[in-house]
Amino acid sequence: MISNGMQTANTKLFTSLIILVGIVAGYIYYSQFLALNEAPLPPAAGSGRDGLSDFKNLKINFSIFDNPAYKALMVFGQVPVSPGVTGKKDVFAP
């Protein structure tokens, strides 16, 4: 039969071994020691530019608004929509 002092020593030993294995596994995982030899992602092309110069000579074509089909569009119903009376005034009332 194992004495109480011996059982406490074994419990402390197993606890410290579990903690040690956890630390080693965490180190390996976070240091990517077991990762495959993958090349890192290359930086995006033109990452040093702001890209606003592309819009310098931007021309917007508004001819769609001159189309007779667009001009024939009509609003049906009430605008703006009135929701009327909805819900309770006091949501916590019975």
* Gyration radius of the chain over CA positions: 35
CB burial string 26-50: b at 16+ within 10 A, e below: eeeeeeeeeeeeeeeeeeeeeeeee
> The whole model's pTM is what?
0.33
Q: How far apart are the first and last CA of the chain?
A: 67
- pLDDT tens digit at each of 94 positions of the chain: 556 667 788 899 999 999 999 999 988 888 775 555 666 777 666 656 667 777 888 899 998 889 898 889 888 877 777 778 877 788 887 7
Residue 21's pLDDT is 97
C-beta separation of 73 from 65 below 8 A: no
CA–CA separation, 28 and 24 (whole Å): 6
Residue 22's pLDDT is 96
